[in-house]
Amino acid sequence: MTEAVFDRKMLEALVCPETRAQLTYDAKAQELISKAAHLAYPIRNGIPVMLVDEARKIE
């Protein structure tokens, strides 16, 4: 089973729903990182889950 690949072009259009800050893509963890909010939004089956309740807190 292959891992879904996130469309990097989509990254340009997405912002953190909490802070509206730019996101960075972590390919290994399959997450979009908001450094401003200290949150990591999961990418499931190639689709970013941009819900604060679904994000994990990072330091």
- The string of pLDDT tens digits covering residues 2-24 is 455 667 677 788 999 999 999 99
Cα 4 to chain centroid, rounded: 14
Radius of gyration (C-alpha) of the chain in whole angstroms: 11
1 DSSP assignment: -
> Domain 8-57 is in which class?
mainly beta
Tens digits of residue pLDDT in 36-58: 999 999 999 888 999 999 999 99
Token code pair at residue 23: 């996101």
